A and B are shown apart, each in its own frame.
Chain A
Amino acid sequence: MYKLWSSIKKEVLLLKRDLGGLVILFVMPLVLIITITLIQDSTFKTVSDSKIPILLVDNDQGEVSKVIEKNLTESNSFEVISKPNENEAKDLVFKGKYQLAIVIPKKLSTDLQLKVNQNVNKIVADFGMEDATNVTSSEKIESKEVKIYFDPAAQSTFRNAVKSSIDKMISQIETKSIYTAFQEQLGEDETAFQQESFITFKEITPTKDNKEVIPNSTQHNVPAWTLFAIFFIVIPLSINIVKEKNQGTMIRLRTNPVSYFTVIAGKTITFLVICMVQFYLMVAVGVYLFPHLNLPALQVEGILGLMSIVALFAGFAAIGFGILLGTIAKTQEQSAPFGATSVVILAAVGGVWVPVFAMPKIMQVIAGISPMNWGLNAFYDVILRNATFLDIVPEISYLFLFFIAMILISLFYDEKKRAL
Chain B
Amino acid sequence: MESPIIQIKSLSKQYRDADIFSVDNLFLDVKKGDIFGLLGPNGAGKTTLISMLCGLIKPTSGEFKINGLSYKNDSKNIKKIIGVVPQEYALYPTLTARENLEYFGAMYGLKGKDLKEKVIESLDYLGLLKFADKKIDTYSGGMKRRINLIAGILHKPTVLFLDEPTVGVDVQSKNVIIDYLKKLNSEGTTIIYTSHHLIEAQDFCNQIAIIDAGKIFAEGTPQNLISQTENAHNLEHVFISLIGKELRDNV
Nearest chain A CB to B82's CB is how many angstroms away?
7
Interface residue? B95 (CB, 8 A): yes
Interface residue? B113 (CB, 8 A): no
0/1 string, A225-257, CB within 8 A of B gives 1: 000000000000000000000011101111111
Residues of A within 8 A of B90 (CB): 247-249, 251-252
Nearest chain A CB to B168's CB is how many angstroms away?
14
CB pair A255 B95 closer than 8 Å: no
Give the docked Cα–Cα distance between A258 and B152 (Å). Answer: 14
Interface residue? A208 (CB, 8 A): no
Residues of B within 8 A of A2 (CB): 106, 109, 111
| The residue from B15, B55, B56, B91 contacting A249, defined by CB atoms under 8 A apart | B91
0/1 string, B78-107, CB within 8 A of A gives 1: 011010101011111111000100111011
8 A Cβ contacts from B133-157 to A: 135, 151-152
Nearest A residue to B56 by beta-carbon distance?
A254
Stretch at the interface among A12-20, A71-79, A106-114, A372-380: A12-20
Known: A10-B92, A257-B77. 13 other contacts (CB 8 A): A6-B103, A7-B103, A13-B95, A14-B95, A248-B88, A248-B90, A249-B91, A251-B90, A252-B104, A255-B56, A256-B107, A257-B76, A419-B57
Give the docked Cα–Cα distance between A392 and B94 (Å). Answer: 41
CB pair A418 B107 closer than 8 Å: no
CB pair A10 B99 closer than 8 Å: yes
Interface residue? B72 (CB, 8 A): no
Interface residue? B130 (CB, 8 A): no
13 A/B residue pairs, CB under 8 Å, sorted by A: A6-B107, A10-B99, A13-B99, A247-B91, A248-B86, A248-B90, A252-B151, A252-B152, A254-B55, A255-B54, A256-B79, A256-B108, A420-B15
Give the docked Cα–Cα distance between A248 and B136 (Å). Answer: 14
CB pair B16 A420 closer than 8 Å: yes
Interface residue? A176 (CB, 8 A): no
Count of interface residues, chain B, beta-carbon cutoff 8 Å:
34
Interface residue? B182 (CB, 8 A): no
Known contacts A14-B92, A249-B90: A255-B102 contact under CB 8 Å? no
Nearest chain B CB to A298's CB is how many angstroms away?
36
Give the docked Cα–Cα distance between A247 and B79 (Å). Answer: 21
Interface residue? A95 (CB, 8 A): no
8 A Cβ contacts from B7-31 to A: 15-16
Give the docked Cα–Cα distance between A420 and B22 (Å). Answer: 12
Nearest chain A CB to B23's CB is how many angstroms away?
13
Interface residue? A144 (CB, 8 A): no
Residues of A within 8 A of B99 (CB): 10, 13
CB pair A258 B95 closer than 8 Å: no
Interface residue? A3 (CB, 8 A): yes
Interface residue? A51 (CB, 8 A): no
0/1 string, A290-313, CB within 8 A of B gives 1: 000000000000000000000000
Interface residue? B58 (CB, 8 A): yes
Nearest B residue to A262 by beta-carbon distance?
B107
Nearest chain B CB to A420's CB is how many angstroms away?
6
Nearest B residue to A252 by beta-carbon distance?
B90
CB pair A248 B89 closer than 8 Å: yes
Give the docked Cα–Cα distance between A249 and B99 (Å). Answer: 13
Interface residue? A9 (CB, 8 A): yes
Shortest Cβ-Cβ A-B pairs, 9 listed: A248-B90, A6-B106, A17-B94, A252-B90, A257-B79, A256-B107, A255-B84, A248-B88, A257-B80
Residues of A within 8 A of B102 (CB): 6
Give the docked Cα–Cα distance between A255 and B89 (Å). Answer: 15
Give the docked Cα–Cα distance between A249 and B56 (Å). Answer: 13
CB pair A3 B107 closer than 8 Å: yes
Nearest chain A CB to B144's CB is how many angstroms away?
11
CB pair A418 B58 closer than 8 Å: yes
8 A Cβ contacts from A61-118 to B: none
Nearest A residue to B60 by beta-carbon distance?
A419
| The residue from A251, A257, A419 contacting B109, defined by CB atoms under 8 A apart | A257
Known contacts A256-B79, A420-B16: A10-B56 contact under CB 8 Å? no
Nearest A residue to B103 by beta-carbon distance?
A10
0/1 string, A259-284, CB within 8 A of B gives 1: 00000000000000000000000000
